[in-house]
Amino acid sequence: MNCQNSFTIRQPVFQPGFVQRFDRRRTYELPGGAMLWLAAVRVALAAVGIALIANLWLGHTVATVRQDIVVISERQLIIKDEQMALLAERAGLMSEQQIQREAGSRLALFAPEQDQVLKLR
């Protein structure tokens, strides 16, 4: 790849009697040639593009996971409330008075009176 500084030289309107010489600058060539650098630029652009796409994809994935965590946390709070209500209901149902009441109403089982019990010795 040649890099040159090109400019136009105009002749002065009057002739001062001397002429300034303009030497061409040396052209600088890239090591390895233009094809190598063109390929390197293409590879670098492809790498940057892939990195950008990966970054966008990972950002989307992280945002989705955060939303899922929020939804799961809300559901967990609801389940904890339900669990507390069920534990309170179970404690009420397991009480002795409740068991005797349900046994009497559903199964017709009642605790015996003192005069109904005979002790044999």
Q: Residue 95 corresponds to which amino acid?
A: S
Percent of the chain with pLDDT over 90: 47
The mean pLDDT value of the chain amounts to 85
Residue 73: per-residue pLDDT: 97
Question: What's this model's pTM, rounded to 2 decimal places?
Answer: 0.49
Distance CA 66, CA 64 (A): 5
Measured from the Cβ of residue 103, the count of other Cβ atoms closer than 10 Å reads 13
Q: Where are the domains of the chain?
A: 49-93
65 contacts 71 by C-beta, under 8 angstroms = no
